[in-house]
Structure 1
Amino acid sequence: MNTYRLDRFEGTYAILIQEDAHHNELSVLKERLVAVAKPGDLLCIDFDAIGNLRNVKIITPVDHKMEQA
């Protein structure tokens, strides 16, 4: 699973910033995230083999600290 920060919504897309050294930007359909996340949320996302969102989980600050340890 990959960690992203939901940066913003632009039209029909949600813009995610990957939480690693490269800070890659990824666009996904807004409808996939708008019900569960808001800008600024840290998300753990699992993708299937062709790049579709399989699982999305909001990570709390406590979860994120434990994940990094």
Structure 2
Amino acid sequence: FERIPKSMDVQSYRRGSAQARYQHLAPGRELPPVHAKRIKATDYDQLATQEVSESLGHSRRRRSTILNHYLLK
């Protein structure tokens, strides 16, 4: 692309890719529940979440960014 079209929803592509990667890294695990007021550590695979976070260029310590913006159902 010379430019990214304004109509292209890049964030939705990143989200879809992050969810697919998480499910590949954590087979048999559901995506974390969106309806939960607070996500517990047992609601998600921590290693898979860390790997997805790093692959998207986010800090290992900022799992909340990945969980809240990319992985919730």
Task: Give the shorter-chain TM-score range.
Answer: under 0.3
TM-score (norm 2): 0.24
The structure in which a higher percent of residues are strand is 1
The structure with the largest alpha-carbon Rg is 2
TM-score (norm 1): 0.24
The structure in which a higher percent of residues are helix is 2
